Amino acid sequence: MTYKAPVRDYGFLIKDVFNTDQYHNVPGFADADSDTVMAILEEAAKFTEEVVAPINITGDKEGCTLNPETHEVTAPKGYKEAYKALTEAGWTALSSDPQYGGQGLPHFVNTAFSEMLSGASSAFGMYPGLTEGAISALTAGGTDEQKALYLPKLISGEWSGTMNLTEPHCGTDLGLLRTKAVKAEDGSYRITGQKIWISAGEHDFTSNICHLVLARLEGAPAGVKGISLFLVPKFLPDADGNPGERNSLQCAGLEHKMGIHGNSTCVMVYEDAKGFLLGQENEGLKIMFYMMNAARYGVGLQGLAIGHAAYEAAAAFAKDRLQGRALTGPKSPDKPADSILVHPDVRRMLLESRALIEGGRAFLVWGALQADFQHHAEDEKAREKASDYMGLLTPVLKAYLTEKGFKITSDAMQVHGGSGFTEHFPASQYMRDVRITLIYEGTNGVQALDLVGRKLPSKGGRALQTFFAEIDAYIAAEEADSKTPQYIAALKTTKTKLMDGTMWLMQNGMGNPDNAAAGSLDYLCLFGLTCMSYMWAMMAKAAQTAIDNGSDDPFYATKLKVGRVFLERILPEADAHLAKMKGGAEALMSLEDELF
Ligand SMILES: Cc1cc2nc3c(=O)[nH]c(=O)nc-3n(C[C@H](O)[C@H](O)[C@H](O)COP(=O)(O)OP(=O)(O)OC[C@H]3O[C@@H](n4cnc5c(N)ncnc54)[C@H](O)[C@@H]3O)c2cc1C
């Protein structure tokens, strides 16, 4: 089984659905006309299929190794060479700031590339993924000097980045963190403490690793208000900005884990390590959130990317595997049995997966466009709107797409039957690799609490109201003479359910916050379904328009067939989510703790 990058689907989204050429006045978009982008994505597909995909299975089997003497980590065979090829071809610099050596292309181009990279090998894709997050934090919180020194090397991929939040006693609740920072006479800081589960914390393919570490200054306020952020490089840059003196930090251990074996998950120990403050003292979390938000979007993307790769493997398997006969009579009478593709239950798994993947991919591209508008839209109002959307929808993108990525991957294993449970087929690796996406970067339960507790009420509910108004305007514009009215009707109904759920939260969550918390993941899924419904309405319209304009490309008719599966087999889940959240917290809270 080889990885097949979804280039055609990106062509559809970029040209037919979102028509990104219409934004040519937005900075960055002028150099990204759709033909140029498609040429880039053809190359991206070649790179990920030919260079990255081959190291996915071998990386899983071999894993990373730690030299207990030197504390250096060696990534699996082939990773170093693939990383070299990745950076030499400039893939790490696609959407970064040209002032620091980036190519300045819009984020949706990088989204398409990142999906292909993660789909080809999610463990490998995490190395540049973490660096991307570090770039966001440095861009937001670094001084001009820090940016000039670090950004060009991170953007080119010569150096890499990490994110150090978690400690043994401190996961979701960052207020508990204990890593200590002491100010030194030269204005830098000395960092002491232990961080665990640090992805890409140590490896053998960059000449320096820049750790972004959350720590607490002596006398800082308790809880999250007393957290500062430090840049702690493995090698301290010398006067010329090259890796100099070795800093006093090391990888003390590697985690043995369920999946993503090719990515090093490190215990990092800092002993009086020299660090540099990013932003202001005690305001570290504010800057770290830039990295965390970038990473949350990236994890949603990772869930979907693995789901897509697993779907492709399952579809290929289903075509080959001969078992049983079609209930309506043999489809391949010359063979001992029909392929399992004749069975409605197998088709259910494959097509529901496909409806989720294609809707989710559109959601990611739409989200990436918001990230571009947030920084570059010409008028202030448009920037504000996009920024509100990013805040509101990041938890939805992260949690909904990883929940569904996991379901798709599980169904891909089911399509394989017993073969899926063996290591001869790739389904089991996808299953092991995707599971972490529901956990790290804030568990999905915590994302749902963030949506309900922080994002909805933020700025008096402005983001949600703007989002509802956008959907209402879309429905009003399309309703009268839509060629695909069933999608508009579905969007209208789903949005009404989401409004109903929102009202219920307002009426029942304020008095008893357990009600809001108990229903939060269902509410998030209802939100995800509304977004997917919006995406499918736009995709169906684009596909139908192409057909009406005389296109005989079977891609468009296929898109509508998959869209129908979304309407008939995925969207009904909205009712269940709404009913579950309206049940409130009582059923969950009434059992006494000692009876668990
Ligand atoms: C492979 C891997 C890679 C990782 N990479 C990194 C990395 O690069 N950098 C980094 O800093 N960390 C990393 N992590 C850590 C990861 O982000 C945490 O595991 C995650 O945030 C959850 O924290 P926890 O494991 O301590 O779970 P806990 O916080 O102990 O949570 C346990 C359960 O309780 C729930 N829960 C906890 N608090 C609440 C609450 N207030 N309300 C409702 N439910 C709650 C959670 O949802 C979860 O279901 C990684 C972890 C793994 C396994």
Question: So what's the pLDDT on residue 357?
Answer: 98
155 contacts 92 by C-beta, under 8 angstroms: yes
Q: Token match 């591209």: residue?
A: 365
Q: How far is the CA of 171 from the centre of ligand 1 (A)?
A: 5
Report the chain's mean pLDDT, rounded to a whole number: 97
Ligand 1 contacts CB of residue 436 (under 6 A) = yes
165 pocket-lining for ligand 1 (C-beta < 6 Å): yes
On the question of pLDDT at 10 being above 90, the answer is yes
Assess whether pLDDT exceeds 70 at residue 493: yes
What's the gap in Å between 439 CA and the centre of ligand 1? 6
Nearest to 419 by CA among 496, 524, 497, 314: 314
Show Cβ contacts of residue 254 under 8 Å, excluding neighbours closer than 6 positions: 64, 65, 66, 73, 264, 265, 266, 267
26-67 tens-digit pLDDT: 988 999 999 999 999 999 999 999 999 999 999 999 999 999
The continuous run of DSSP H or E covering 355 comes out as helix 344-376
Residue 166 CA to ligand 1 centre (angstroms): 8
pLDDT tens digit sequence for 188-241: 999 999 999 999 999 999 999 999 999 999 999 999 999 999 999 999 999 999
How far, CA to CA in Å, does 303 sit from each of 168, 217, 300, 427, 450? Answer: 26, 36, 5, 14, 19
Ligand 1 mean position, distance from CA 197 (Å)? 10
Pocket test for ligand 1, best of 64, 126, 162, 166 (most atoms within 8 A of CB): 166
pLDDT tens, residue by residue, 568-589: 999 999 999 999 999 999 999 9
Mean pLDDT, residues 281-304: 94
pLDDT of 291 above 90: no
Which is the closest atom of ligand 1 to the Cα of 260? 1
With a 6 Å cutoff on the Cβ, whether 170 touches ligand 1 is: no
Residue owning the nearest CA to atom 20 of ligand 1: 440
Q: Say if ligand 1 is within 6 A of residue 160 CB.
A: no
Look at residue 1 and tell me whether its pLDDT is greater than 90: no
User: Using one digit for the tens of pLDDT, what is the confidence trace for 86-109?
Assistant: 999 999 999 999 999 999 999 999
Q: What is the pLDDT of residue 175?
A: 94
Residue 517 CA to ligand 1 center (angstroms) comes to 17
What's the rounded mean pLDDT across residues 506-512? 94
CA geometry: angle 388, 212, 290, nearest 5 deg: 5
Q: 518 CB less than 6 Å from ligand 1?
A: no
**CB of 263 shorter than 6 A to ligand 1:** no
pLDDT tens digits, 67-76: 999 999 999 9
The residues that are catalytic are 441
| 88, burial (CB in 10 Å: exposed 0-12, middle 13-18, buried 19+) | exposed
d(CA 478, CA 567): 18
Mean pLDDT over residues 335-359, rounded? 98
Residue 2 confidence class, pLDDT cut points 50, 70, 90: confident
125-169 residue pLDDT tens: 999 999 999 999 999 999 999 999 999 999 999 999 999 999 999
Q: Are 84 and 55 in contact (CB under 8 A)?
A: no
- Give alpha helix (H) positions in 4-143: 7-11, 34-47, 54-62, 79-88, 107-120, 122-141
pLDDT tens digits for range 407-460: 999 999 999 999 999 999 999 999 999 999 999 999 999 999 999 999 999 999
Ligand 1 contact via 266 beta carbon (within 6 Å): no
Nearest CA to ligand 1 atom 24: 171
Cα→Cα distances 146→139, 170, 240, Å:
9, 29, 13
Token look-up 């097949």 returns: 4
